[in-house]
Amino acid sequence: MISLPKAPTSPFDPPSLLYQILTSPLTLLIRALYHTFLLLRGPAYPSNSNPVRIICISDTHTQKLPIPSGDVLIHAGDLTNAGTTSEIQVQIDWLNSLPHKHKIAIAGNHDSYLDPRSRAPFDVNNRLDWGSIHYLQHSSVRLKFPAHGDSGRVLNIYGAPQIPKCGGKEFAFQYQRDEDAWTGTIPVDTDVLVTHTPPRWHLDLPIGLGCSFLLKEVWRVQPKVHVFGHIHAGRGKETAFWDEGQKTYERLRGRKERWVLWGGALGIGWWLDVVRLLLYGILGLLWTKVWGAEEHGTAMINAALIDWRSGKIGYEAQVVDI
């Protein structure tokens, strides 16, 4: 007797391809279609002759790795496992030893000390030395790059650590999944956004562990770059163009696919949105490849470094030029 593929044992583990084919084939097809259009459209914004190079890492969980050179180094949280001051300080010291002129860090849910609600009693009176690192916690920093261009460059970087609840009281900066912790919180002049959680459906798992409220807020702000982590299996790069095609894709991802091993039926609304996704994808290609229009989107980076299967560093730092 042939056994059916099993569901993931953890919500943070990605389902197998066969499991997705049997349980949500149309969602799998929609994801493939949408990302094919993204690949064909190309980068989020025009190239710059004198770019600022940003090195993106996240979810190092006490581990270290070689880091490429760049103008800015960003760590998007989960520096540690237990989140004690001793663990965090070791990672801080490692980051400070790197040659990048500007360094940014935010907390992740494993960095317990940084949230008073999850801080261990033995750590209450301890302190951290961030050195030259800009630690952002619902705050911004304005960085200047005088050597880039005739009049230099300026980047506004905003960082925030909060995530939808996924663990016990030892996890930092959690909020209930149906709670809005984002609306109106990100400055509209943000060039680079750093969060620990992804926006829902983007470099996320198929079930959507990212935050829908963050997604709405990023739609409002539309930064040039959005760096995050948390979902190890979602690691990668993706472009957001903030157009009707993306809006349709997100709406499709939010629909419940009523299939049980190829049974059941889908509503007309689903099929209409699939047609819209195709049309908007084709229009997007015509806009850039035929009519030659410049894109002004967002480069999304899930910079998680830990391989979800082994628990060890499995990936390299990601590089983005703006």
The pTM of the full predicted model, rounded to 2 decimals, is 0.94
Whether 264 has a pLDDT exceeding 50, the answer reads no
Question: What span, in angstroms and rounded, lies between the C-alpha atoms of 243 and 172?
Answer: 34
Share of the chain above pLDDT 70, in %: 95
Report residue 116 as tokens: 């008073």
Share of the chain above pLDDT 90, in %: 75
Tell me how many degrees the CA angle 26-309-36 measures, rounded to the nearest 5.
35
58-62, 93-97, 260-264, 309-313: range with lowest mean pLDDT: 260-264
- pLDDT band, very low/low/confident/very high, at 8 (cuts 50, 70, 90): confident
> Quick one: which of 37, 98, 104, 63 has its CA closest to 280?
37
- pLDDT, tens digit, 9 for 90 and up, residues 164-191: 999 999 999 999 999 999 999 999 999 9
pLDDT of residue 4: 65
Mean pLDDT of 56-75: 97
Mean pLDDT of 62-66: 97
pLDDT of residue 103: 98
Question: What span, in angstroms and rounded, lies between the C-alpha atoms of 312 and 322?
Answer: 30
Contacts (Cβ under 8 Å, ≥6 apart) of 66: none
pLDDT of residue 61: 97
- pLDDT band, very low/low/confident/very high, at 150 (cuts 50, 70, 90): low
pLDDT of residue 262: 43
Higher pLDDT, 263 or 80: 80
- pLDDT, tens digit, 9 for 90 and up, residues 220-230: 999 999 999 99
Mean pLDDT of 226-236: 97
Q: Report CA Rg, the chain.
A: 20
Cα of 153 vs its chain's centroid, Å: 24
pLDDT of residue 82: 96
Question: What span, in angstroms and rounded, lies between the C-alpha atoms of 239 and 299?
Answer: 5
Question: What span, in angstroms and rounded, lies between the C-alpha atoms of 214 and 192?
Answer: 15
The DSSP annotation for 102-118 comes to EEEE---TT-GGGSTTT
Residue 82: CB atoms within 10 Å: 16
Report residue 314 as tokens: 């499995």
Mean pLDDT of 125-142: 97
Rounded to the nearest 5°, which phi and psi values hold at 300? -95, 130
Greatest Cα-to-Cα distance within the chain, rounded to the nearest angstrom: 70
Report residue 313 as tokens: 């560093």
The DSSP annotation for 241-253 comes to --SHHHHHHHHHH
CA torsion 204→205→210→216, rounded to 10°? 60
The residue to which tokens 């030395």 are assigned: 129
Question: What span, in angstroms and rounded, lies between the C-alpha atoms of 1 and 225?
Answer: 50
pLDDT of residue 258: 58
pLDDT of residue 260: 40
